[in-house]
């Protein structure tokens, strides 16, 4: 566009290019951020599409609430029941599967609850409760917290009886929960991605894994612009389309820590 520039009494015409930066806000889980996945994916997306991404990394419940308020363009989370509720409320345009990994029960190598090597997660939790072994819960309404609560219920354990003794809710993300478990030699449910990228393990190790109930699916949704006019629908959808495209799926599969793949793409085309 042209802009008039006045220097003294001389009027000059100057051609100035005003490039409007394209930016979207994605409300997502702490696991996609703390695992390093976004650090891997976003530069690739920004280079491909010319759209920068601002990530708000919180628990899934909070991420969905941010979407409900219209304070994000896209939500990228991992709690299918909560996602389905979000969609049934008319808050999202369409939900897409993106990728999956799994949850693992992590605990001290000394293993006071004797759960090492088992694949039945509910049996492991019952043993933790019976031993009154220290357990750290995120307690933050995240996808991981929701999964943990479902598993305690399936195990038939009333965790309210253990609060403030062996069961501790911290109201924080996966990284802080792992740090607290490491410092206190406690058990904790973690997504595998954050665990693999976690450095401060101390005496912690994966003790229970492989139960099909530990499957962890991630989904992505555009916040409905019909409810919130400020939603950047075109650029938000471009991000979603890239995530589920062959290039985006390949990028997800290519993210590894120590040679181990953290997330497994499973978008349907």
Confidence (pLDDT) at 92: 98
Q: Both ends of the chain: CA-CA distance in Å?
A: 41
Q: What is the pLDDT of residues 166-198, one digit of tens each?
A: 999 999 999 999 999 999 999 999 999 999 999
Instruction: Give residue-wise pLDDT tens across range 5-31.
Output: 434 444 443 333 344 689 999 999 999
> Cα 166–172–174 angle (5° rounding)?
90
Its pTM surpasses 0.75: yes
Distance CA 32, CA 263 (A): 10
Taken in order of first residue, the domains within the chain and their CATH numbers are 23-101+216-265 (3.40.190.10), 102-214 (3.40.190.10)
117 has pLDDT over 80 = yes
Residue (of 27, 107, 120) closest to 74 by Cα position: 27
Residue 211, pLDDT above cutoff 90: yes
The whole-chain average pLDDT of the chain stands at: 92
């Amino acid at each position: 566009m042209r802009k008039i520039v006045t220097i003294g009494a001389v009027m000059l015409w100057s051609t100035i290019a005003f490039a409007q930066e394209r930016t979207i806000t994605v409300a997502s889980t702490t696991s996609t951020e703390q695992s390093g996945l976004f650090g891997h994916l976003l530069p690739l997306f920004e280079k491909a599409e010319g759209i920068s991404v601002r990530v708000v990394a919180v628990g899934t419940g909070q991420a969905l609430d941010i979407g409900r308020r219209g304070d994000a363009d896209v939500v990228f989370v991992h709690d299918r029941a909560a996602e389905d509720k979000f969609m049934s409320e008319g808050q999202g345009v369409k939900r897409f599967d993106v990728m999956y990994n799994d949850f693992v029960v992590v605990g001290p190598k000394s293993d006071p609850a004797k759960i090492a090597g088992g694949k039945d997660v509910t049996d492991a939790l019952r043993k933790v409760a019976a031993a009154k072994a220290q357990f750290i819960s995120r307690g933050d309404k995240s996808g991981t917290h929701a999964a943990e609560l479902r598993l305690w219920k399936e195990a038939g354990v009333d965790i309210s009886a253990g609060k403030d003794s062996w069961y501790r809710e911290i109201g924080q993300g996966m990284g802080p929960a792992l740090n607290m478990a490491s410092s206190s030699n406690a058990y904790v449910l973690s997504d595998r991605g954050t665990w693999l990228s976690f450095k401060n393990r101390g005496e912690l190790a994966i003790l229970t894994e492989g139960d099909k109930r530990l499957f962890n699916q991630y989904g992505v949704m555009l916040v409905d612009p019909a409810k919130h006019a400020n939603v950047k629908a075109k650029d938000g959808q471009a991000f979603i389309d890239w995530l589920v495209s062959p290039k985006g799926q390949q990028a997800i599969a290519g993210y590894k820590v120590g040679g181990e793949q953290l997330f497994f793409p499973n978008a349907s085309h």
